[in-house]
Amino acid sequence: MKTARVTKGTIGNGVMGKLWAERSAILHSQWRYELSKKQGGLCYYCEEPMKRKGPKACTLDHLIPLSRGGKDIKRNCVAACFTCNQAKGDLTFAEIDKLFEGADGVA
């Protein structure tokens, strides 16, 4: 019988990798639901109501992106519509704030 080889610091593509992916998907689904409810069903960024499908579909966004050293923990996540999440990309919230600074004449 062939076993999955998992090295230190990696999950691997075998059984453990599949289990981790399933656990992560379930956890993220739960976080997305809880955060959306906490935010009143509104996108964290545009503050418009989120839908079940389409460009306003609810997604989970990491305030500090994983690619930038952010952690995959609930307090680093917000519920955001698909459109805003895609537009944000791997920018941090602070970087987005700088982009819009003064755009509405406030800052």
Whether the predicted pLDDT of 5 surpasses 50: no
Among 84, 76, 79, CA closest to 35:
79
Question: What is the residue-averaged pLDDT of the chain?
Answer: 80
Q: Alpha helix (H) ranges present in 47-104? A: 82-88, 93-100
- Model-wide pTM > 0.95: no
Q: What is the dihedral of CA 71, 41, 95, 54, to 10 degrees?
A: 100
List pLDDT tens digits, range 30-82. 888 899 999 999 999 999 999 888 778 999 999 999 999 999 999 999 999 99
CA distance 1 to 95: 50
